Amino acid sequence: MPSMTHMALVELEKAGILKFVISQNVDGLHLRSGIPREKLAELHGNSFMETCPSCSAEYLRDFEVETIGLKETSRRCSDEKCGAKLRDTVLDWEDALPPKEMNLAEKHCRMGDVVLCLGTSLQITPACNLPLKSLRGGGKIVIVNLQQTPKDKKASLVIHGFVDKVIAGVMEWLNMQIPPYIRIDLFQTILTQSLSSDKKFVNWTIRIASVHGLSAPLPFIKSVEVSFSDSQNYKEATLNTQPFLLKRRTVRTETFEMFLKLKFSDGCGCLSTQIKIPFNFQASTEDFKLDKKATFEKMRDVAIQDSSCGQNSVVERRTVLVPKSEITVHAVVTNVRTFDCHISNGDLKPRKEGLQGSETTTRKRSKGRKRKMSS
């Protein structure tokens, strides 16, 4: 999850103080926290991002992409006019830095009044030299890191300490609140129905799947318990492995309700959530699509007010005639995390984990290694 520092940067950006973020990490947490994509350069890529080499469309996933090194993945661009095979965005050692990201990073460093270097050893070239570009225009460098860095002598201020602690002090001094982190994930339920050969029964299947594709993993769901309003005639079931799929046969004229209890994976802020799915073979479902941004804002407000997660909402429903299917997209709050930036006797109250003065990439990088510059 994004740390106190990640969320503080979001608030500073909204206030117009922070103009741009440059990240060497591949964990995708700046995007997840709420930094706008156009104000972020991810120099080494993003483990949760796929991109289309043909039309340049980007796809942020809720699961870690299976490859690195700009290789083809198992998915395609969803644009009907394109359909090219997607690629991961994480660089391997022989890969050049992406020119688009690097050019933006250089531009903003030259324009910056102050470049904050937070929790980085400043040893991986060429990224480590970016802050120096601000000096030519009269800008200043501030370094916050537990250890010394090769650029300390160039900085106007160096603080050898925990980034969260320093940023909490900055936010308190500015009299600014650090916003909570509310994570909202999406999944889809697919109810498929067909008549038996004698027309007396309905063969149906309920599937809980990722919105990123039927074969994509659902990392935040551990298991699904299925129960029914008519418990005497319908046996409960527990789905413990993906794909979460249940097949049944019922009499054509019967109607009932299904209850899906989704148990969340470790790391989520609550244990489970429950959704209800009405079953009626005769009824026709109208398609609709809600304003996702407005729906998310309402869910965030409720999550903050209740200080809990598990809230869910339907955001889209569509039908397919052959085979007869009802596809519903659900949003669910899977994490709520609040931050207290008040400092007492030099300590955070309560202390939160976060950037601890070291690079938080998901892959270890050797000290002093260089990356190729793009031509």
Tokens of 367: 């000290």
77 annotated to a ligand binding site: yes
Which one from 6, 44, 108, 330 is the annotated catalytic residue? 44
Q: What are phi and psi of 322, to 5 degrees?
A: -130, 115
268 annotated to a ligand binding site: no
Name the amino acid, one letter, at 137.
Answer: G
82 annotated to a ligand binding site: yes
| Residues ≥6 apart with Cβ < 8 Å to 158 | 142, 143, 144, 152
For residue 284, how many other CB atoms are within 10 A of its CB?
Answer: 8
Distance CA 204, CA 206 (A): 7
Tokens of 216: 């994509």
The whole-angstrom distance between residue 157's C-alpha and the CA centroid of its chain comes to: 33
Task: List helix spans (H) across the chain.
Answer: 4-14, 29-33, 99-111, 163-173, 292-306
Task: List helix spans (H) across 72-176.
Answer: 99-111, 163-173
55 annotated to a ligand binding site: yes
44 is catalytic: yes
Tokens of 194: 């067909």
Check if the beta carbon of residue 206 is closer than 8 Å to that of residue 224. Answer: no
**DSSP states of 119-140:** S----SBTGGGGGGGGGGGT-E
Which of 103, 92, 89 is CA-nearest to residue 41?
103
Please report, for residues 165, 339, 340, the alpha-carbon distance to residue 350 in angstroms, rounded to integers and kept in the order given. 11, 8, 7
Active site residues: 44
Q: Residues marked as binding for Zn(2+)?
A: 52, 55, 77, 82
